[in-house]
C-alpha cells in the first residue's frame, strides 16, 4: 500500500501537480487515498530518502525545494552520468531505436508548437528513459532517474516560462542530441549530452525561484538569476566501456 502511494505521489511531484515547496499534509493525503496514516507516513518517509520530500520541524512535510548550491550539486552529477548514458546508448545503437527516438522528437516539436508544456514534458521524459533503457545498465538507470526526479518539477516550471520560440528550440535540441549519438562519434556524443544537460540547468537558474539558503526547510524566496558554480561541460574523452 505504501509503495503505491509513494509511486502516485512521486508521479504527481514530477508532473508538477505538487509544486516545489507545496505542503503535504498527512490528514489530507489519508483522505485522498482513503487509507490510514501509517501507509501515508511510510510513503512520505520513502520520498524523503529519495530527496523529493523534506520534513519541516514541527510543520510536517513539503515537496523539496532547491538552493543554488543543491542545484549545482545535482547537475555536476547529471553531466557525468548522462554522458555515460549517451556513450553506452551509442555502443548499443540500432536503427529501430533511432526511428523511435526521432518519432518522439517530432511529437515534441508538435507539442512545443501547440505550447503544450505538459505533453512536451511527458515526451521529454520518455525520450530520456528510452536512452536509459538503451544504455542497458539498471544501476546507472536507477541513479540517473532518481537525480532527474529531484529536478523534474523545476524543469517543468522553467520550460513553462519559455517564450514559444525558445520552447520550440528546446524540443529541437533533442534532435541535435540524437544526431550526435547516431553519428557514432563518442566525443561528439559526450559533448552534446553535456551541453544538453547544462542548458537544462541554465533554464532553471534563469527562470525558477530557488530557496534562500542551504538550511533544511528553507523556503523559496529569491529570483533564481544567481551565479552558478557549475563549470562548463567537461572536456570530452574517447569512449571506454565501463
CB-count exposure of residue 36 (10 Å: 0-12, 13-18, 19+): exposed
Cα-flanking dihedrals φ and ψ of residue 194, to 5°? -60, -45
- Any idea where the domains of the chain sit in the sequence? 2-63, 68-222
pLDDT of residue 46: 87
pLDDT of residue 242: 39
**Residues 6+ away with beta carbon under 8 Å from 114:** none
DSSP-assigned letter for residue 32:
H
pLDDT of residue 21: 83
- What span, in angstroms and rounded, lies between the C-alpha atoms of 72 and 233? 13
| Contact status, residue 6 vs residue 43, Cβ threshold 8 Å | yes
| Contact status, residue 155 vs residue 122, Cβ threshold 8 Å | no
- What span, in angstroms and rounded, lies between the C-alpha atoms of 145 and 76? 15
pLDDT of residue 196: 97
Side-chain-side CA neighbours of residue 187 (13 Å): 4
| Contact status, residue 80 vs residue 233, Cβ threshold 8 Å | no
- CATH number belonging to the domain at 68-222, selected among 3.40.50.1700, 1.10.10.10, 3.40.50.200, 1.20.120.530: 1.20.120.530
In the block, residue with C-alpha cell 547537475? 75
- What span, in angstroms and rounded, lies between the C-alpha atoms of 156 and 19? 10
Chunk the chain into consecutive blocks of 10 residues (it has 242) and report each block's average pLDDT, rounded to whole numbers. Answer: 88 79 89 91 88 84 86 94 98 97 98 93 94 96 90 85 93 97 97 96 85 48 35 39 38
| Contact status, residue 219 vs residue 166, Cβ threshold 8 Å | no
Q: Return the CATH architecture of domain 2-63.
A: Orthogonal Bundle (1.10)
- What span, in angstroms and rounded, lies between the C-alpha atoms of 191 and 173? 13
Amino acid at each position: 500500500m505504501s509503495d503505491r502511494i509513494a509511486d502516485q505521489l512521486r508521479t504527481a511531484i514530477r508532473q508538477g501537480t505538487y509544486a516545489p515547496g507545496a505542503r503535504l499534509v498527512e490528514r489530507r493525503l489519508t483522505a485522498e487515498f482513503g487509507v490510514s496514516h501509517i501507509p501515508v507516513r511510510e510513503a512520505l518517509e520513502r520520498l524523503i530518502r529519495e530527496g523529493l520530500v523534506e520534513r519541516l520541524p514541527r510543520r510536517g512535510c513539503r515537496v523539496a525545494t532547491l538552493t543554488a548550491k543543491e542545484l549545482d550539486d545535482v547537475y555536476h552529477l547529471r553531466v557525468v552520468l548522462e554522458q555515460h548514458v549517451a556513450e553506452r546508448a551509442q555502443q548499443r545503437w540500432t536503427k529501430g531505436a533511432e526511428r523511435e527516438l526521432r518519432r518522439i522528437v517530432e511529437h515534441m516539436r508538435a507539442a512545443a508548437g501547440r505550447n503544450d508544456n505538459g505533453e512536451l514534458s511527458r515526451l521529454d521524459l520518455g525520450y530520456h528513459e528510452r536512452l536509459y533503457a538503451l544504455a542497458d545498465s539498471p544501476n546507472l538507470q536507477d541513479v540517473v532517474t532518481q537525480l532527474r526526479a529531484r529536478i523534474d518539477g523545476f524543469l517543468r516550471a522553467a520550460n513553462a516560462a519559455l517564450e514559444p520560440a525558445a520552447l520550440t528550440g528546446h524540443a529541437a535540441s533533442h534532435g541535435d542530441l540524437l544526431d550526435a549519438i547516431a553519428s557514432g562519434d563518442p566525443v561528439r556524443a559526450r559533448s552534446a549530452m553535456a551541453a544538453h544537460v547544462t542548458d537544462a540547468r541554465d533554464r532553471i537558474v534563469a527562470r525558477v525561484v530557488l530557496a534562500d539558503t542551504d538550511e533544511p526547510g528553507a523556503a523559496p524566496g529569491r529570483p533564481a538569476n544567481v551565479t552558478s558554480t557549475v563549470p562548463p561541460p567537461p572536456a570530452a574523452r574517447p569512449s571506454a566501456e565501463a
